[in-house]
Amino acid sequence: MPSQDSRSEYARRMHRVLEHIDRHLDERLELESLAEVANFSSFHFHRLFAAWMGETLGEYLRRRRLEVAALRLVAQPRLPVLQVALGVGFGSAEAFARAFKARFGETPTAWRSTQQRKRDQAERKPDQATALRGTDDGNMKNTVIDLNVKLVDRQPVTIAYLRHVGPYGPGLADFWTETVASWMATNNLLGRPRYGISQDDPGITAPEKLRYDAGVEVPEDFSGSGSYMKTVIPGGKYASGRFKGTGDQLAASWESMLREWLPDSGMQLDARPFFEYYPIDASYDPQTGVFECDICIPVVAL
């Protein structure tokens, strides 16, 4: 069906651009070079991008830079603000502070302090603290999640994926079961390692803009049916923790990795994506909803 094939090709090209942006936020990202990544004419690319994304290229670049910076400010509390600014492509702390305040209503330093206070207050509440510290009170929501975080070296892996845009939560489970599973079955991809890639932080990015990629390991030359995308998850060093619990515990475990483990680890984040890794032997209990996966965050030495 030509119209569907054409739309799928547009989507693939735009996904290449968005992936390129996220992995090169510390560089100058010019319209001409991004148009080249998408293989579109630079003359028309700005209009095409705005029509596809619902925001201009400049607005998108500014939003992504500030959202990634906000995450790093909290996850790496000892990282100087200037280093955060430079790491997402701002030329000075002053320019970064102005843009950050316009987006979040506070300076980077004040916002970091506010988020720390919120975390401290949350940890003083027993129902939230147990999910992070993991003391079992018999309630499934608050069962201890001992991630046993380790540093691992992962090889690059090619995946084919489908993207969900919208709020995280129960909708993602429905996306896997109602959309992704049938697509995998159609393409004979069942029984392979799977990946869940949360491209955005739900505490920072607006719910309607949250991106989640449900992927499966494929050969480099994979060619299948449906409106899927293909990418390579980069290799390198990752902090990896084994999660076993229910979907409503997963967010707290991610939070624990970023807010508790990372600041004391001697490591820092880089531009590679975060992901959940579901190995072939990962368990799932449909009666309780308890499942297993490895939570993986990309790290390099401070």
Q: Which residue, among 107, 109, 105, 83, has the nearest Cα to 97 in the 3D structure?
A: 107
Higher pLDDT, 32 or 121: 32
Quick one: tokens of 180? Answer: 């992704």
**164 has pLDDT over 80:** yes
**17 has pLDDT over 60:** yes
Residue 176 to residue 228: CA distance in whole angstroms? 14
Higher pLDDT, 217 or 126: 217
Question: Tell me: the pLDDT tens digits for 279-295?
Answer: 999 988 888 889 999 99
> Which are the contacts of 292, defined by CB distance < 8 A and separation ≥ 6?
242, 243, 244, 278, 282, 283, 284
Residue 136 to residue 49: CA distance in whole angstroms? 48
**264 has pLDDT over 90:** no
Looking at residue 15, what is its pLDDT?
A: 93
Task: Give me the mean pLDDT over the 44-70 stretch.
Answer: 93
> Which are the contacts of 131, defined by CB distance < 8 A and separation ≥ 6?
141, 142, 145, 249, 252, 253, 256
Task: Give me the mean pLDDT over the 169-191 stretch.
Answer: 93
Residue 234 to residue 273: CA distance in whole angstroms? 8
Question: Tell me: the pLDDT tens digits for 69-85?
Answer: 999 999 898 899 999 99
Looking at residue 170, what is its pLDDT?
A: 80
Looking at residue 147, what is its pLDDT?
A: 86
**89 has pLDDT over 60:** yes
Higher pLDDT, 115 or 144: 115
**6 has pLDDT over 60:** yes
Looking at residue 125, what is its pLDDT?
A: 58
Mean pLDDT score across all residues of the chain: 88
Cα 89 to its chain centre, rounded Å, is: 19
Q: Which residue, among 77, 99, 96, 100, has the nearest Cα to 85 in the 3D structure?
A: 96
Quick one: tokens of 216? Answer: 């499966």
> Which are the contacts of 116, defined by CB distance < 8 A and separation ≥ 6?
74, 77
Confidence of residue 10 (pLDDT cuts 50, 70, 90): confident
Question: Tell me: the pLDDT tens digits for 199-256?
Answer: 998 889 999 999 999 999 999 999 999 989 999 999 999 999 999 998 888 888 888 8
Confidence of residue 171 (pLDDT cuts 50, 70, 90): confident
Cα 149 to its chain centre, rounded Å, is: 18
Specify which of 52-56, 157-161, 263-267 reaches the highest per-range mean pLDDT. Answer: 157-161
pTM: predicted TM-score of the whole model, two decimal places: 0.84
